[in-house]
Amino acid sequence: MNLTLKVWRQKNPRAAGGFETYEAKGVTPEMSFLEMLDVVNEELIAGGRDPIAFDSDCREGICGMCSLVINGIPHGGQPGTTTCELHLRHFHDGQTITVEPWRAKAFPVVRDLITNRSAFDRIIQAGGFVSVNTGGTPDGNAIPVPKTTADRAMDAAACIGCGACVAVCKNASAMLFVAAKVSHLNLLPQGKAEKDRRALNMVKQMDHEGFGNCTVTGSCEAVCPKEISLSFIAKMNRDYGVATLKGQ
Amino acid sequence: MSLDSKIPPGPLAQKWDKHRFDLKLVNPANKRKFDIIVVGSGLAGASAAASLAELGYKVRCFCFQDSPRRAHSIAAQGGINAAKNYANDGDSVYRLFYDTIKGGDFRAREANVYRLAQVSSNIIDQCVAQGVPFAREYGGLLTNRSFGGAQVSRTFYARGQTGQQLLLGAYQALSRQIGLGTVEMHPRTEMLDLVVIDGHAKGIVVRDLVSGEISSHAADAVVLATGGYSNVFFLSTNAKGCNVTATWRAWKKGALFANPCYTQIHPTCIPVSGEHQSKLTLMSESLRNDGRVWVPKRKEDCQKPPASIPEADRDYYLERKYPSFGNLAPRDISSRAAKETCDDGRGVGPGGRGVYLDFADAIKRLGESMIRDRYGNLFDIYEKITNENAYKVPMRIYPAVHYSMGGTWVDYNLMSTLPGLFVIGEANFSDHGANRLGASALMQGLADGYFVLPYTIGDYFVSAKQAKPSANHPEFKKAEENIRQFAARLLSVKGRRTATSFHRELGKLLWEKCGMARNEAGLTEALKRIPELREEFWKNVAVTGGNGELNQALEYAGRVADFMEFAELLCLDALHRRESCGGHFREEFQTAEGEAKRDDENFAYVAAWEYQGAGKAPVMRKEPLVYEEAHMSTRSYK
Amino acid sequence: MKTIANIFASSLGKKYIMAVTGFGLFLFVIGHLAGNLQVFLGPEAINRYGAFLQSNPELLWPARIGLLLMLGLHIWSAAKVSLENRAARPEGYAAYEPVGSTYASRTMLVSGSIIFVFVVYHLLHYTAQVQYLNLTGRDFRVFVDLKDRHDIFKTLVVGFSNGWVSGFYILGMALLCLHLSHGASSMFQSLGWRNDVYRPMMENLARVVALLIFLGYSSIPAAILFGYGREVLR
């Protein structure tokens, strides 16, 4: 099959960017979207032109590095799928595809389709952990965790930190990401000791980074490759509220 | 150079305790005076960086990804072993030790493996305390599953995302330290050289992948946690960015490289679908708990729909050949068995390079919902890639390169032959011998980072009594200059072939000549072909852009250039090891039944290769493997 | 003090304000509807209700001030949140698909703004009874019933007999319905009183309640346009 790509090109954060058009010829439906970009890049390099810069690493949907907005939808719109797991069988021959980077003030473009998502790291650094040092921890079975609680914490912990929630949100809000992390740890008995502090500090950092606010549109949940539920945002709202009312 | 493994004297079970007592300690107030560089932020790197910072050392951590959370440890699916014996099925530290030694085909260092088994329990406790959501029973206690190469259930897991959850645990601990200011994190930064001054590792030279800036970082010790080299085969289950550059460049600075020929081929991966393929995807080995591996008995049946092949015409070859372990036979054995059936013309799927992994029986026995509960996400991944529903038709799987047991040689303290250079996790060679058992990689990475290195590194600081290094030292300037020249050289070739195309050709060559089965003729041919390919690479590689900018083509070309050199050492090691053991199968050395034939008399040693300078043949040093406790038996999973 | 600062300065706090004031306004909307629907019980009922409210200024004015305050905070938080949201994405997408979100959820600012304009008109129309705004040429203030009470029944019938006024009223209610179909459930989300189990229930309930509110309010001008209460005009 043949595809036409309209790709955002931008040399560096300061440069002005724009769309360029490329033809992906003779690609096959079994190929992944990124493998198709690899083919385009191969041709560009062989022709002495700069390849399209994009992030990817594990290429199996878990590292969270890949981050393309494909035809207006982060990760391309297949349910529970990252860009790297998206295969060309979901496109048709002759289709024109627009490829853009994540767009948010907190995720500035680094080059072409690569953005800087270190804001997420700083949010975790503000409180996305349990304050335990290595060593001296009790036996793993000393803290029973009800299966339902462990499962729910795991649902939240499945977040891969890709930032698609921010990219799709009309407000560029990072609530789903932050809520997933707050919920993962606040649900578990191990995380209860610093539950209030965690919610307050992580939200503070999130606001500081310049993400937008949640208006509960639910589009984050719809594009999340790990299908993380909007209900975790409610959980964070509750935890933050309780912590605030306590005057912490 | 003689290799001193520094194995402590005394009975095996007491070595680590005794050694910890003997290790010199750094006064808590003095720890902040020592700078440590950790390269890599996977399980080993992140856990080490966090633990060292907690102790009070000043740590700088580097990774090439945009966040330390994305290191490839995140992709490990199945689980992590620990000798907790929660299942009450007779597990013990000794059993885990023995299974690992035996699984490694008696080519691992006994004392290291025993220590690994000893600290395995602490790892689970640590991770639970960090909030890793391991799978639980309804009563709230931790649950286990079984894994290849073991007859007890000792594997802890978090759905099919155990590596992710463990890495997030370590990343959280690391993030906490970054937030506290005790770790300085450098993401999107690649280590390009190790700096050695007066025989001690004193720092690294890195390239900022965004700005292209080359800079020097001096420290009292350097820790490499840079993972394995499976990507030398081009197609592997490793992430696209995984590379050998850090350990390779350390090799050229004098850190010996051990057992490069020990590469692991994982039996359950999704088969290759075409030439364009950029990487392979693994299906967790845990699937073999409930899936049954088979191929048609007759070649004529291979293209028929699997459901139409009656039970009598199917060959459940693992169950047939290895009745006591069946579908849970270790990875190297299962992989080779798959290759044999496909070589025999009985492979299934496009190209005939695949075997069935069938869940029909398990679904009949346990119900689809139970199977979905256990493996749902793996079935989803499979469907995304192949467009096939594995609840209805059997999965097709084929072996793929997955892990490298070989790596930088380290002593019992995890220090390389270069004082001050420590190597941990997959990047070192120490614990898995010639074959790694499932769910042991996560265990080793975290053992090294949380519970071994934090003790041993202090001993080095106290005993070495080294002067404080400075990044202004001429050695740093020299290294920076070399890096710049290296980049300039790559950019100046302006050839017609991309680095990918060279990498793909190299990988194909290695897979054919030095993959699941190797022989003298093939290896000799590869050793002839690799230098030719390398020469062509330097004459004809196309690298666009410049050094002073984000340049993925340049980053990648540099890594491929190292693979081009490293591949030769890999083949050299494979050629010299005239025996079959674990992941290293030499066709000349097999039993009448086609099983690996070890030669303990001549090859019970670690082969550590020493760099002699450009264009000179490396020299092999031997570390003899002495087994005080384990009896070197022939591995049998029958 | 820290608590207050947290609420007014943080993103989540502003949403609490929006949710709490939204909830208060939501209750008012329901109460107001219950009062208004008495119009279908005839002039006596609705005029008595009106006289009852007017005769208790000690209750009426605190309620009015409270409502105004809530409205003010609701609008303030909406404005603040919207401005921040806009700033959070300085460069938009060339192609954008708002997957997974409802039309109502994406247009809260627009629906809210028009409802605000409606509310202002509505207050001038029926509360302040500004004559030239009712488009009928008649002065509502002089409508008095037999018991010397303000004749609300007549006011409504005269007021809604104008098609433009009724039309705007129904449009306002339609937008209120849209606004509430999202807001009535999402306020519980913002306050953290929602989970996977109750969420579908709450979302559906919000839609049903919003629709009932629309039908309830719109039934009055609609009925009057179809002739209800015409006898008072004679």
Q: How far is B493 from chain A (nearest CA, A)?
A: 11
Sign of the C-alpha dihedral computed for residues B74, B76, B82 and B85 taken in this order: positive
Q: Which residues of chain B lie closer than 8 angstroms to A12, CB-CB? A: 549-550
Q: How far is C33 from chain A (nearest CA, A)?
A: 27
Q: Which residues of chain A lie closer than 8 angstroms to B56, CB-CB? A: none
CB contact at 8 A, B177 and B59 = yes
**Shared-domain flag, residues A123 and A105:** no
The pair of structure tokens assigned to A91 is 């496109």
Provide the residue type at C54 as one letter: Q
CA angle at B286 for the pair B40 and B133, rounded to the nearest 5° = 60
What is the rounded CA–CA span in Å between residue A150 and residue B141?
A: 10
State which of A92, A111, A130 marks the end of a domain: A111
Q: Which residues of chain C lie closer than 8 angstroms to A80, CB-CB? A: none
Q: Is B308 exposed, middle or buried (0-12, 13-18, 19+ CB in 10 A)?
A: exposed
Q: Note the pLDDT tens digit of each residue in B113-171.
A: 999 999 999 999 999 999 999 999 999 999 998 887 788 999 999 988 999 999 999 99
Angle between helices C57-88 and C108-122 (to 10 degrees): 150
Q: Under an 8 A CB cutoff, do A35 and B276 touch?
A: yes
**Shared-domain flag, residues A62 and A139:** no
The pair of structure tokens assigned to B637 is 């999973």
Query: Which one, of B588, B587, B507, B491, lies nearest residue B548 by Cα?
Result: B491
Domain span including residue C42: 2-233
Q: Nearest 5°: phi and psi at B60?
A: -120, 130
State which of A111, A138, A157 marks the end of a domain: A111
Mean pLDDT of B626-632: 92
With contact defined as 3+ CB pairs under 8 Å, the chains touching A are B, C
Q: Under an 8 A CB cutoff, do C85 and A234 touch?
A: no
Q: Note the pLDDT tens digit of each residue in C60-84.
A: 999 999 999 999 999 999 999 999 9
Q: Which of B288, B331, B346, B598 is catalytic?
A: B331
Scanning every residue of chain B, which has its alpha carbon at the shortest distance from the alpha carbon of A226? B377
Q: Note the pLDDT tens digit of each residue in C32-51.
A: 999 999 999 999 999 999 99
Q: Under an 8 A CB cutoff, do A244 and C88 touch?
A: no
The model's confidence at residue B98, banded by pLDDT at 50, 70 and 90, is very high
In this structure, the strands spanning A96-100 and A69-70 are: antiparallel
Indicate the average pLDDT of chain B. Answer: 95
What is the rounded CA–CA span in Å between residue A154 and residue A171?
A: 27
Q: Which residues of chain A lie closer than 8 angstroms to B131, CB-CB? A: 129-130, 153, 184-185, 188, 190-191
CATH number for the domain including C13?
A: 1.20.1300
Q: Which residues of chain A lie closer than 8 angstroms to B130, CB-CB? A: 129-130, 132, 190
CB contact at 8 A, B223 and B64 = no
Q: Note the pLDDT tens digit of each residue in B208-265.
A: 999 999 999 999 999 999 999 999 999 999 999 999 999 999 999 999 999 999 999 9
For C88, the closest of A72, A210, A222 (CB atoms) is A210
Q: Under an 8 A CB cutoff, do A190 and B66 touch?
A: no
The pair of structure tokens assigned to B490 is 């790559």
The model's confidence at residue C1, banded by pLDDT at 50, 70 and 90, is low
Scanning every residue of chain B, which has its alpha carbon at the shortest distance from the alpha carbon of A51? B553
B331 is catalytic: yes
Query: Which one, of B114, B256, B234, B106, lies nearest residue B584 by Cα?
Result: B106
CB contact at 8 A, B417 and B2 = no
Instruction: Look at residue C234 in the predicted model and tell me its pLDDT.
Output: 72
The pair of structure tokens assigned to B426 is 């997959």
User: Does an interface of 3+ CB pairs under 8 Å exist between B and C?
Assistant: no
Instruction: Look at residue B215 in the predicted model and tell me its pLDDT.
Output: 98
Q: How far is B61 from chain A (nearest CA, A)?
A: 14
Scanning every residue of chain C, which has its alpha carbon at the shortest distance from the alpha carbon of A209? C88
Residue A14 CB contacts under 8 Å (≥ 6 apart), including other chains: none
What is the rounded CA–CA span in Å between residue A204 and residue A196?
A: 12
The model's confidence at residue B595, banded by pLDDT at 50, 70 and 90, is confident
Q: Under an 8 A CB cutoff, do A56 and B240 touch?
A: yes
Scanning every residue of chain A, which has its alpha carbon at the shortest distance from the alpha carbon of B540? A46
Task: Inform me whether the pLDDT recorded for A197 exceeds 70.
Answer: yes
Q: Under an 8 A CB cutoff, do A141 and B68 touch?
A: no
Q: Under an 8 A CB cutoff, do A80 and B380 touch?
A: yes
**Shared-domain flag, residues A96 and A9:** yes
Task: Inform me whether the pLDDT recorded for B72 exceeds 90.
Answer: yes
Q: Under an 8 A CB cutoff, do A211 and C15 touch?
A: no
The model's confidence at residue B638, banded by pLDDT at 50, 70 and 90, is confident
For A58, the closest of B72, B140, B385 (CB atoms) is B72
Percent of chain C with pLDDT over 70: 100
Question: E strands within B340-382?
Answer: 355-358
Q: Under an 8 A CB cutoff, do C2 and A71 touch?
A: no
- Which residue do the tokens 């952990």 mark? A129
Torsion of CA A214, A219, A220, A221, to 10 degrees: 120
Q: Under an 8 A CB cutoff, do A105 and C89 touch?
A: yes
Q: Under an 8 A CB cutoff, do B161 and A158 touch?
A: yes
Q: Under an 8 A CB cutoff, do A42 and B498 touch?
A: yes
Count: domains in chain A? 2
Q: Which residues of chain C lie closer than 8 angstroms to A223, CB-CB? A: 99-100
Q: Is B349 helix (H, G, I), strand (E, B) or coil?
A: coil
CATH number for the domain including A29?
A: 3.10.20.30
First to last CA, chain B: 42
Q: Note the pLDDT tens digit of each residue in B494-539.
A: 999 999 999 999 999 999 999 999 999 999 999 999 999 999 999 9
Q: Note the pLDDT tens digit of each residue in C215-233.
A: 999 999 999 999 999 888 7
**Shared-domain flag, residues A80 and A156:** no
Which residues, in sequence order, are bridge partners of residue B224? B39, B423
Query: Which one, of C217, C232, C223, lies nearest residue C151 by Cα?
Result: C232
What is the rounded CA–CA span in Å between residue B386 and residue B390?
A: 10
Q: Under an 8 A CB cutoff, do A231 and C105 touch?
A: no
Q: How far is C59 from chain A (nearest CA, A)?
A: 30
CA angle at B404 for the pair B402 and B410, rounded to the nearest 5° = 155
Mean pLDDT of A168-191: 98
Query: Which one, of B126, C192, B284, lies nearest residue A179 by Cα?
Result: C192
Task: Inform me whether the pLDDT recorded for C136 exceeds 80.
Answer: yes
Mean pLDDT of B22-29: 95
Mean pLDDT of B391-398: 95
Indicate the average pLDDT of chain A. Answer: 97
> How many inter-chain contacts (A to B, CB under 8 Å) are there?
228
CA angle at B137 for the pair B136 and B140, rounded to the nearest 5° = 75
Angle between helices C163-190 and C108-122 (to 10 degrees): 130
Q: Which residues of chain A lie closer than 8 angstroms to B67, CB-CB? A: 117-118, 120-121, 161
Scanning every residue of chain C, which has its alpha carbon at the shortest distance from the alpha carbon of A16? C91
Mean pLDDT of B105-109: 96
Instruction: Look at residue B374 in the predicted model and tell me its pLDDT.
Output: 81
> How many inter-chain contacts (A to C, CB under 8 Å) are there?
153
The model's confidence at residue B34, banded by pLDDT at 50, 70 and 90, is very high
Which residues, in sequence order, are bridge partners of residue B401? B265
Which residues, in sequence order, are bridge partners of residue B610? B619
**Shared-domain flag, residues A137 and A92:** no
Domain span including residue A59: 3-111
User: HSE-up of B567 (CA within 13 Å, CB side)?
Assistant: 36
Q: Is B222 exposed, middle or buried (0-12, 13-18, 19+ CB in 10 A)?
A: buried
What radius of gyration, in Å, describes the C-alpha atoms of chain A?
20
Scanning every residue of chain A, which has its alpha carbon at the shortest distance from the alpha carbon of C199? A231
Query: Which one, of B421, B360, B364, lies nearest residue B391 by Cα?
Result: B360
Residue A54 CB contacts under 8 Å (≥ 6 apart), including other chains: A34, A37, A66, A67, A68, A112, A113, A114
**C residues 110-169 near A, CB within 8 Å?**
none
Q: Which residues of chain A lie closer than 8 angstroms to B70, CB-CB? A: 57-58, 63-65, 161
Sign of the C-alpha dihedral computed for residues B295, B297, B302 and B305 taken in this order: negative
Task: Inform me whether the pLDDT recorded for B1 exceeds 80.
Answer: no
Q: Which residues of chain A lie closer than 8 angstroms to B553, CB-CB? A: 45, 50-51
**CA separation (Å) from B41 to A208, B7, B44, B282, C61?**
26, 28, 7, 22, 64
Q: Note the pLDDT tens digit of each residue in B296-315.
A: 999 999 999 999 999 999 99
Task: Inform me whether the pLDDT recorded for B636 exceeds 80.
Answer: no
| Ordered structural domains, chain B, with CATH | 265-402 (3.90.700.10), 474-603 (1.20.58.100)
Q: C12 at the A interface (CB within 8 A)?
A: yes
Task: Inform me whether the pLDDT recorded for C31 exceeds 80.
Answer: yes
The b/e string for B109-141 (b: 16+ C-beta within 10 A; e otherwise) is: bbbbbbbbbbbbbbbbbbbbbbbbbbbbeeebe
CA angle at B24 for the pair B18 and B25, rounded to the nearest 5° = 115
For A59, the closest of B129, B279, B499 (CB atoms) is B279
Instruction: Look at residue B274 in the predicted model and tell me its pLDDT.
Output: 84
Q: Note the pLDDT tens digit of each residue in B205-218.
A: 999 999 999 999 99
Q: Under an 8 A CB cutoff, do A173 and C105 touch?
A: no
With contact defined as 3+ CB pairs under 8 Å, the chains touching C are A
Instruction: Look at residue B151 in the predicted model and tell me its pLDDT.
Output: 87
What is the rounded CA–CA span in Å between residue B389 and residue B386?
A: 8
Q: Which residues of chain B lie closer than 8 angstroms to A143, CB-CB? A: 128-129
Count: domains in chain C? 1
**CA separation (Å) from B166 to A24, B156, B177?**
39, 11, 17
Instruction: Look at residue B634 in the predicted model and tell me its pLDDT.
Output: 81
Task: Inform me whether the pLDDT recorded for A248 exceeds 80.
Answer: no
Q: List, in sequence order, the alpha helices (H) in B541-591.
A: 552-576
What is the rounded CA–CA span in Å between residue C163 and residue C152?
A: 19
Residue B475 CB contacts under 8 Å (≥ 6 apart), including other chains: B195, B196, B197, B202
**Shared-domain flag, residues A20 and A71:** yes
First to last CA, chain C: 61
Mean pLDDT of C104-130: 96
Q: Note the pLDDT tens digit of each residue in A65-86.
A: 999 999 999 999 999 999 999 9
For B67, the closest of A78, A117, A135 (CB atoms) is A117
CATH number for the domain including A206?
A: 1.10.1060.10
Q: Under an 8 A CB cutoff, do C91 and A230 touch?
A: no
Q: How many Cβ atoms are within 10 Å of A50's Cβ, its own excluded? A: 19
Q: Which residues of chain A lie closer than 8 angstroms to C186, CB-CB? A: 215-216
**Shared-domain flag, residues A146 and A209:** yes
**Shared-domain flag, residues A98 and A137:** no
Task: Inform me whether the pLDDT recorded for A63 exceeds 80.
Answer: yes
For C89, the closest of A172, A222, A223 (CB atoms) is A172
With contact defined as 3+ CB pairs under 8 Å, the chains touching B are A
**Shared-domain flag, residues A238 and A212:** yes
**C residues 83-112 near A, CB within 8 Å?**
84-85, 87-102, 105-106, 108
What is the rounded CA–CA span in Å between residue A90 and residue B32?
A: 55
State which of A73, A96, A111 marks the end of a domain: A111
Which residues, in sequence order, are bridge partners of residue B398? B269
